[in-house]
Amino acid sequence: MRAIGLAVDVYKKVFTRPVISPPQPVRHTGFDLDLTIESVRAEAADVVSLVLTRPGGAVLPAWRPGSHIDVFLESGRQRQYSLCGDPRDRHRYRIAVRRIEDGDGGSSEMHTLRSGDRVRIRGPRNAFTFVETAPSYLFVAAGIGITPILPMVRAAGARGRLVYLGRSRDTMPFLDELPATCEIRPDDEVGTSDIPALLATAAPGAAVYVCGPPPVIDLARRTLFALNPTASLHTELFSARAVTDGREFDMVLARSGETVRVAATETALDALRRVQPDVVFSCRQGFCGTCKTRVLGGEIDHRDRLLTPDERPDHLLTCVSRSAGGVLTLDL
Ligand code: FES
């Protein structure tokens, strides 16, 4: 009876209260490894998957659905990709990359990798936790957002329902790996999907996982709990969120004396990259810590949940945080 009582308590805590993610603190439990690319496969228009192995076939660190790895590229770029293979296969990691033509070059560089190449990775880490005990799941994946969702769908089995959105079938990777029950909704066949109507189909108490671009995530966050107050919402963006409530400010780079103006609609990171194109960054969403920069003066408007209380007085994550008013002086 005690065990049942505890289980009911846990159930109530987890499923009777809305849960919104991310941003969540990322567990830094990864490893740095040099891996070999075993194979590269075209999965859809501008999307390739890469299978990575350890030299000599050694076992890889375990991971769970929702995990990602950091990939360190020759150019010095660092990018994060969800693991989309089978967690039971301890000898292979699989990631998938969509090439973004007008992006920062990271995805194009990933597309130059070939079978036999070596890459350094860090991870796996998990910032998109799969709740294994939900009574049912609704997964909504848009485009390349299918990558973290795919292992979750497999883990959920008969408790899960996947709705997969995309522009057209030829742009949607892994169609051949999806369960027969998956609803595939390409815009050019069925029109743009009504996200709130879709979320309304989640069962009471369901865990709803949404991975896609900011407008889809924002709509889910605004509407799900009005439609289904007992559901829990778990989200992951696959692109940086636009700045919508920013104010213009100046940053002084202490080492060069240069002043950089940050426009109201851009991030401090984007402004920095105009004058220092090699400044390091990765997730652009405030959860990996790669862009952490020391602040020598000025008041910071922190918009992340990663920095510790000790770090907050004199560090900022340039990809999301801004000035709270006035000039910021950075140790750059
Ligand atoms: S780039 Fe990841 S926290 Fe800024």
Fold of the CATH domain 128-237: Rossmann fold (3.40.50)
pLDDT of 10 reads 33
Q: What is the pLDDT of residue 264?
A: 94
CA of 321 to the centre of ligand 1 (A): 10
Dist CA 15 CA 62 (whole Å): 27
Q: Where in the chain is the domain with CATH 2.40.30.10?
A: 31-126
Residues 6+ apart with CB under 8 A from 293: 315, 316, 317, 318, 330, 331, 332
- How remote is the CA of residue 228 from the centroid of ligand 1, in Å? 32
Binding-site residues, ligand 1, Cβ < 6 A: 281-284, 286-291, 317, 319
Q: Is residue 170 classed as helix, strand or coil in its secondary structure? A: helix
Question: pLDDT averaged over consecutive 10-residue blocks of the chain (332 residues)?
Answer: 35 35 44 94 97 95 95 89 97 96 84 96 90 96 96 97 97 96 96 95 96 91 93 86 88 96 95 89 85 96 92 96 96 95
In words, the CATH class of domain 249-330 is alpha beta
d(CA 75, CA 45): 25
Residue of the CA atom closest to atom 3 of ligand 1: 286
286 Cα nearest atom in ligand 1: 3
CATH 3.40.50.80 maps onto the chain at 128-237
Nearest-5° Cα angle at 123, 117 to 125: 140
Which residues in the chain are classed under CATH 3.10.20.30?
249-330
pLDDT at 30: 53
Residue with tokens 């989640």: 202
CB 92 within 8 A of CB 60: yes
Q: Supply the CATH classification number for the domain 31-126.
A: 2.40.30.10
> How far apart are the CA of 292 and the centre of ligand 1, in A?
7
